[in-house]
């Protein structure tokens, strides 16, 4: 019972209190780890900040734990709360005492318990002659409990008319797009969108929360810099030294991409990449601009990722989850991802996302590295940080830990002197400190005057209704829609094993080229384990024979693609010499992607300016649809080469506002046929001239020659 009722924080504020009303904060899971470590402290911080402004509070710690036991745990937590450094000990003790009197534990299990809580809040408000401003329910409980709790709140614990309800939810919000959608639908049946506050605690990290204000306050300086012409690349990194021991049951299901990339790092990416709204204090505008970033994200492919797993992980899983001796997990504990945005601001700029457990250090940062076009005549010792265009130019939002040890914003002195709010101050850092290849003195460096943990920041934002610091349903689903196809395609991929800590050496370094990521150091691999001389791909030569009475070239996929690309280039050169132009007909789907990439990245002498491109098949979707073959051609080839627009000939599947005008599911059937490649080669070798059923059997050039290129897998089966 809240018999002690509401404590008047400052006597002089009675009038203001009347105006601002009473807010009840219900912490569900009040005896759990997160609550003990951060949430109670965050609530205390809120009380310190707001009570003096006339706000009136009651704090209800709740859990399934029995009353007496729960009370004990909560009492201990309340005892351990700390005040900011600038509060004198006596004053701190006084404030803690006030907060403790406003905080109560109660068991909350049944719908009746929720109804009783609601009644108690109403009685309290009435007794004190206050009015109810709103209720906050903080769900610090596992997601499987969400729906039942949501139902009980909705049916029995909503505040009366005129008062607001805010429910705060902790991740994970689903496991993929479908489960996130399901959870969102369930919650949506109990709460309105504006009532839900989904937490991503990285949005409360001070350096992350500073990204938009920094961009806003330095608009003028950044105007010409924050774009593809100036930015070389963006790195968004979260390194951890801890591993997943003790939480493998969670981790086995999630892995690093779902655990931190889909949420924390993606959220950061949107803050860096979004078009800056004219007024960043408008939550609606910020959220709308965030969504536009999701719309511009280019779909990820298998080659967009490198995956690792620390060596001890499988053993930990076997032990903690009681798996058989031979069990090997495929769950990645490290990932590097290459992301591109297809919009005018960011086209061509690599965004590199990286996170992992059991790495050599704990640190997080966003690094915007600018292009450097300077050609320097003077030697390095004469370079002056403020003036030299020869030094690297970068802006870093340093999230915390690492060598610097605190959140910071760093701006290379050769860029501009930034403006930061008064709550940030210029700092020097320990002498001799180097960050990102340069001494700290090369940067204007700012840190928060008062360091705050992420949860305190977010609790304050919930209280102030700042929805833009939280994840809306639309935002969440857009993020899962982006990540789910990649997660599906990686489901059976074996991650590279790494020893953990400093011993990782360069094993996890990776690089990007042609839209693909790969580890920089090749891992010595044996194709077939054991002694003897098992054949490796390089042991085979390109074979020539015949297929359907025509020449056949066959090899391992890589060699075959290289050979095919060489032959196409030779044919193109010959054709252009002879007639001034070359016509290349390409198929769609995923099969020719490797060829497109080879042509795009390895054939600089190709006469693209004289080449016409045709597609031999297309799906029944508009050309702008990511599923269309034309889009595949665009992504993997066209955007990397210089081909006159009028030399590109997409198939006219979308005419007169109609698509193919067939209802026979031709697109799906075709996709299945592509994936059933092996049977097709056998079948095509046997069928006669049946172009209606097998269009490829109708290819009968009237001049030139038909050559079949088929890799060993397809050819030998
Ligand atoms: C959580 C992840 O969201 O973030 C953890 O589930 C991770 O795996 C943690 O360790 C990192 O947060 P912080 O605040 O310690 O950087």
H or E element in which residue 612 lies: strand 611-615
Nearest to 22 by CA among 161, 162, 133: 133
Residue 203 CA, ligand 1 centroid: distance in Å? 12
Nearest CA to ligand 1 atom 13: 202
More confident residue, 285 or 557: 285
Q: Is 549 left (phi over 0), alpha (psi -120 to 50) or beta?
A: left
Nearest CA to ligand 1 atom 8: 259
Region 243-250: mean pLDDT is: 96
Residue 251 CA, closest ligand 1 atom number: 8
67, burial (CB in 10 Å: exposed 0-12, middle 13-18, buried 19+): exposed
Mean pLDDT of the chain: 89
* Mutation choice for ligand 1 from 239, 264, 363, CB with most ligand atoms inside 8 A: 264
Residue 24 and residue 57 in contact, taking contact as beta carbons nearer than 8 Å = yes
Residue 302 CA, ligand 1 centroid: distance in Å? 25
* Mutation choice for ligand 1 from 41, 200, 260, 400, CB with most ligand atoms inside 8 A: 260
Looking at residue 589, what is its pLDDT? 81
Residue 200 CA, ligand 1 centroid: distance in Å? 10
Minimum mean pLDDT range among 261-275, 424-438, 537-551: 537-551
Write out the residue limits of the CATH 3.30.360.10 domain(s) in the chain: 203-372+390-490
Residue 264 CA, ligand 1 centroid: distance in Å? 9
Residue 49 CA, ligand 1 centroid: distance in Å? 26
99-122 tens-digit pLDDT: 999 999 999 999 999 999 999 999
Residue 246 CA, ligand 1 centroid: distance in Å? 14
Could you tell me where the beta strands, DSSP code E, fall in 408-542? 408-412, 424-426, 434-435, 438-439, 443-448, 496-498, 510-513, 516-519
Is residue 395 pLDDT above 70, yes or no? yes
Q: With cut-offs at 50, 70 and 90, classify the pLDDT of residue 717.
A: low
In order, the DSSP letters of 558-611 are HHHHHHHHHHHHHHHHHHHHHHS-EEEEE--SSTTHHHHHHHHHH-TT--GGGE
Looking at residue 623, what is its pLDDT? 85
What is the CATH topology of the domain spanning 203-372+390-490? Answer: Dihydrodipicolinate Reductase; domain 2 (3.30.360)
Residue 476 CA, ligand 1 centroid: distance in Å? 18
Please state, in angstroms and rounded to a whole number, the distance separating the CA atoms of residues 441 and 385.
8
More confident residue, 339 or 536: 339
Looking at residue 318, what is its pLDDT? 97
* Mutation choice for ligand 1 from 201, 262, 310, CB with most ligand atoms inside 8 A: 201
Looking at residue 230, what is its pLDDT? 97
Cis peptide leading into 477, omega within 30 of 0?
Answer: no
Write out the residue limits of the CATH 3.40.50.1360 domain(s) in the chain: 547-683
Region 369-395: mean pLDDT is: 91
674-686 tens-digit pLDDT: 455 456 667 777 7
Please state, in angstroms and rounded to a whole number, the distance separating the CA atoms of residues 268 and 500.
26
Region 164-178: mean pLDDT is: 96
547-683 belongs to CATH 1.10.260.40: no
Is residue 13 pLDDT above 80, yes or no? no
Instruction: Write down the catalytic residue from 177, 264, 340, 401.
Output: 264
* Mutation choice for ligand 1 from 142, 209, 259, CB with most ligand atoms inside 8 A: 259
209-237 tens-digit pLDDT: 999 999 999 999 999 999 999 999 999 99
Write out the residue limits of the CATH 3.40.50.720 domain(s) in the chain: 20-170
Residue 545 CA, ligand 1 centroid: distance in Å? 57
Residue 177 CA, ligand 1 centroid: distance in Å? 21
Nearest to 243 by CA among 287, 195, 309, 164: 309
Is residue 7 pLDDT above 60, yes or no? no
Active site residue 201: no
Ligand 1 neighbour 259 (Cβ under 6 A) = yes
438-464 tens-digit pLDDT: 999 999 999 999 999 999 999 999 999
DSSP state at residue 331: -
Looking at residue 711, what is its pLDDT? 80
Say which CATH superfamily domain 20-170 falls into: NAD(P)-binding Rossmann-like Domain (3.40.50.720)
More confident residue, 672 or 556: 556
Greatest C-alpha distance within the chain: 99
Nearest to 7 by CA among 124, 109, 113, 102: 102
Residue 244 CA, closest ligand 1 atom number: 8
Q: With cut-offs at 50, 70 and 90, classify the pLDDT of residue 532.
A: very low
Nearest to 293 by CA among 312, 262, 270, 317: 270
Contacts of 317 (CB under 8 A, 6+ apart): 248, 252, 323, 327, 329, 331
Looking at residue 209, what is its pLDDT? 98
Ligand 1 neighbour 260 (Cβ under 6 A) = yes
Please state, in angstroms and rounded to a whole number, the distance separating the CA atoms of residues 302 and 489.
6
Q: With cut-offs at 50, 70 and 90, classify the pLDDT of residue 704.
A: confident
Residue 700 CA, ligand 1 centroid: distance in Å? 61
Minimum mean pLDDT range among 3-7, 255-259, 305-309, 519-523: 3-7
Ligand 1 neighbour 203 (Cβ under 6 A) = no
Residue 530 CA, ligand 1 centroid: distance in Å? 41
More confident residue, 421 or 533: 421
Residue 230 CA, ligand 1 centroid: distance in Å? 32
Residue 240 CA, closest ligand 1 atom number: 10
Region 520-537: mean pLDDT is: 53
Give this prediction's pTM.
0.79
Ligand 1 neighbour 240 (Cβ under 6 A) = yes
Q: Count Cβ atoms below 10 Å from residue 192 Cβ, excluding itself.
A: 8
Please state, in angstroms and rounded to a whole number, the distance separating the CA atoms of residues 624 and 386.
46
- For residue 615, list its beta bridge partners: 586
Minimum mean pLDDT range among 294-298, 575-579, 701-705: 701-705
Nearest to 438 by CA among 388, 374, 495: 388
Residue 362 CA, ligand 1 centroid: distance in Å? 11
Region 639-647: mean pLDDT is: 91
Residue 205 CA, closest ligand 1 atom number: 14
């Amino acid at each position: 019972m809240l018999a002690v009722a509401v404590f008047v924080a400052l006597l002089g504020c009675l009038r203001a209190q009347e105006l601002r009303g009473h807010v009840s904060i219900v912490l569900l899971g009040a005896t759990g780890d997160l609550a003990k470590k951060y949430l109670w402290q965050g609530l205390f911080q809120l009380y310190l900040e707001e009570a003096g402004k006339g706000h009136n509070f009651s704090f209800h710690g709740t859990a399934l734990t029995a009353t007496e036991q729960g009370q004990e745990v909560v009492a201990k937590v309340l005892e351990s709360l700390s005040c900011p450094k600038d509060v004198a000990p006596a004053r701190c003790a006084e404030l803690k005492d006030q907060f403790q009197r406003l905080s109560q534990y109660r068991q909350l299990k049944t719908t009746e318990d929720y109804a009783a809580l609601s009644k108690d809040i109403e009685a309290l408000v009435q007794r004190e002659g206050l009015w109810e401003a709103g209720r906050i329910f903080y769900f610090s409980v596992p997601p499987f409990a969400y729906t039942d709790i949501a139902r009980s709140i909705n049916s029995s614990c909503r505040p009366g008319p005129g008062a607001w309800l805010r429910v705060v939810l902790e991740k994970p919000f689903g496991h993929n797009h479908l489960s996130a959608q399901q959870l969102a639908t369930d919650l949506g049946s109990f709460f309105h969108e504006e009532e839900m506050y989904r937490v991503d605690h990285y949005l409360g990290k001070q350096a992350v929360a500073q990204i938009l204000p920094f961009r806003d306050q330095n608009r003028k300086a950044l105007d010409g810099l924050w774009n593809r012409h100036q930015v070389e690349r963006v790195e968004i990194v979260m390194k951890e030294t801890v591993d997943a021991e003790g939480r493998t049951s969670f981790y086995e299901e999630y892995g690093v991409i779902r655990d931190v990339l889909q949420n924390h790092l993606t959220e950061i990416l949107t803050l860096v990449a979004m078009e800056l709204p004219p007024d960043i204090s408008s939550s609606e505008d910020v959220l709308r601009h965030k969504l536009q970033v999701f719309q511009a994200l280019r779909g990820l492919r298998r080659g967009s990722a490198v995956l690792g797993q620390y060596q001890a992980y499988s053993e930990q899983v076997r032990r903690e989850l009681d798996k058989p001796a031979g069990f090997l997990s495929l769950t990645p504990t490290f990932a590097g991802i290459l992301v591109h945005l297809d919009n005018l601001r960011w086209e061509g700029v690599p965004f590199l996302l990286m996170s992992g457990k059991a790495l050599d250090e704990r640190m997080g940062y966003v690094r915007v590295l600018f292009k450097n076009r300077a050609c320097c005549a003077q030697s390095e010792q004469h370079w002056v940080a403020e003036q030299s265009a020869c030094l690297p130019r970068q802006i870093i939002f340093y999230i915390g830990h690492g060598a610097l040890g605190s959140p910071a914003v760093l701006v290379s002195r050769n860029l501009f002197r930034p403006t930061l709010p008064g709550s940030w101050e210029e700092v020097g850092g320990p002498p001799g400190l180097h960050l990102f290849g340069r001494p700290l003195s090369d940067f204007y460096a700012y840190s928060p005057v008062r360091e705050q943990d992420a949860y305190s920041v977010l609790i304050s934002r919930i209280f102030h209704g700042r929805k833009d610091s939280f994840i809306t349903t639309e935002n969440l689903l857009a993020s899962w829609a982006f990540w789910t196809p990649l997660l599906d395609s990686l489901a059976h991929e074996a991650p590279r094993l790494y020893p953990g800590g400093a011993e990782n050496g360069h094993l996890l370094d990776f690089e990007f080229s042609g839209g693909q990521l790969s580890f920089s150091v090749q891992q010595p691999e044996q194709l077939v384990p054991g002694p003897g001389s098992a054949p490796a791909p390089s042991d085979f030569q390109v074979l020539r024979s015949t297929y359907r009475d025509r020449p056949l070239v066959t090899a391992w996929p890589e060699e075959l693609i290289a050979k095919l690309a060489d032959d196409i280039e030779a044919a193109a050169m010959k054709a252009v010499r002879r007639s001034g132009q070359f016509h290349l007909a390409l198929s769609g789907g995923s099969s020719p992607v490797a060829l497109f990439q080879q042509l795009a990245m390895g054939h600089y002498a190709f006469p693209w300016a004289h080449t016409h491109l045709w597609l031999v098949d297309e799906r029944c979707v508009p050309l702008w649809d990511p599923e269309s073959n034309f889009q595949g051609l665009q992504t993997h080839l066209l955007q990397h080469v210089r081909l006159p627009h009028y030399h590109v000939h997409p198939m006219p599947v979308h005419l007169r506002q109609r698509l193919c005008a067939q209802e026979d599911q031709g697109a799906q059937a075709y996709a299945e046929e592509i994936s059933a490649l092996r049977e097709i080669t056998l079948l095509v070798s046997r069928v006669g001239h049946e172009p209606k059923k097998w269009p490829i059997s109708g290819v009968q050039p009237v001049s030139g020659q038909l050559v079949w290129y088929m890799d060993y897998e397809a050819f030998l089966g």
